[in-house]
A and B are shown apart, each in its own frame.
Chain A
C-alpha cells in the first residue's frame, strides 16, 4: 500500500496550496502566542481559529484533490492492485500531508510557547480533526461522480458541523430549558467532531466555570482519564467510519 502513498505524499507536499496552508497556520499561531503575554489566552484564540479553518481546508482540499486525481486513480485501478489498497493509499497520502502541514504550522509554535498538557491536547485534537474531515471528504467524493456536486456536499458537511449543528443544539437547549439536559448535551457533543475537539481542549483549561452547570458536568466527565479516553475514542470513530464506508462504496463503484 505504501508504494502508492509515498508518491501521493511527495506530490501533495510540493503543492502550493498546502504550503500556503502551513504558512498561514504558522503565522496565526506565532502571532497569537507572541501578542498575548498569557499563553492560555493565545491558546484559546488559536483554538477558535483552528476549529473553523482546519476542517474547512481539510475537507475542501481533499475533495478537490480526489476529483483531480480521478484519471490517475483510474490508471492505478488498471494495475494489479486491489481497489481497497488504491483508495486507502490515496487517503493515507492526503491525510498524512495535511497532518504534516498542521504539525509544522501549529504543532511547532504551540510546543515552543505552550508545551504543556493544554498545548498537547490542542495539537492532538487538531490532528484528529484533520483526519476526520479528510475522511468525510473522501466519503463525499465517492458519493457522486460530479465534481461540482461533490464540492457542494463537502461544503454542506463543513457548514453543518461548524455552524448549523451548534445552532440546533442551542435551539434544543432553549426549547427544553426546563429539563435537565446535561447528559443529553454530553451525548450531542459526541455527534460532532468539531465540538468534541473543542471540549477536549477547553476542559484542559480552567474556564469551564464560564459554562455554568453544563460546564461542571462536562468538567466532571472529561477531566477524568476515563472521560478523556472516551472522547478520544469517539473522535477516532469520526476518523474511521466515513473512510470505511467510503472504501466500501469505492469497492463497488464503476470508474
Chain B
C-alpha cells in the first residue's frame, strides 16, 4: 500500500494487542468446553452437522474428553433439537430466517473457520447498539463472500446482547441452488431498499457491503482500496429508518484468494460477474479453492447518527453523497490504520 501513509497514533502498542487477543475477547468461549453445566449460549457449540439424521453419531463422537454429565446433557439437548427439526416444529420469519438452525448448526459450522482458521479478532463490537435498528456498513473483498459470513459470526458471538446481523446479499446468491437455501436460513436477504428498510423498521441490525461485486471481485493489486459505494442507497435507507450507520473495516479477507486475473470469457459463459484466477485456482482444481489462512481483524467504528435529519433529507442528494463519503472515508482510514499495525498477513 504505497498510499497508506498513516501514522498509527493513539493506538495500543503491538505487545498489548497480542495479550488482548488471547484474553478479553474470547475468554468465556475458550473456557466453555470445560464448564460442567454449559450456559445456554455455550450450548451452541454442541450442535452437530446440518443433516439432522447424522446428528446423534456426531454428537457422541464430538467431545470424548468432556465431563460425563455435560456430554449426556448435550446428547439429550441434541435429541430434543432433532425432534423439533424432523417434526417441523420451529419458526422462520418472513425472510426465511431460521434462528434455531442458525444458532445451533450453521454458526457452529462456521465457528472453526472463524476461530481456528482465520483467527478473527473483533474490536469495537459494542458500537452496535444493544437494541434497535442499526446499519453496519463494511468493506467487501476476497473473491468469495466469506467476509460477510465471518462478520455475522463476529456479531453473533461477541455482541453483548447476542444480536443477529442480517446481511444483505447480491441477487446471484438467491439464484444459486443450495447457496440460496442456506443464505435465507442464515437470515440474509436481497440487497434492495425494500428489504433493508423493512428489516430496519423491525429494529434489526442490518449488514451491507455497498461495494458489491466491484469490491469482492477486484484484482489483488487493488487490495484494501475501497471501490465506489454503489449509489449511496444504503444512506437513504438508514435515514428513512433513523438507524445509526456503524462503519466496519475487515482486514485479512483480501488475501484469502489473491485474484491475479479475471477470465472475462469464462465469466460471460457462466453468467457470473467475474471468474477469478488465483495462483492456485482453477489450476489445482478443488484444492485451489481452499482459502489462504490469513489473520483477520474486524473493527467496528463509532456509529454515525442519522436521526437528527428532517424526513425529506432522505431525498437530498448532497447530504447522501456527504454521508456516503464520510462513512467510506472512515472505513478506508480504519483499514489503513489496521494495515499499519498488522505484523504479517498470516499472523
Q: Please say whether chains A and B are actual partners in one complex.
A: no
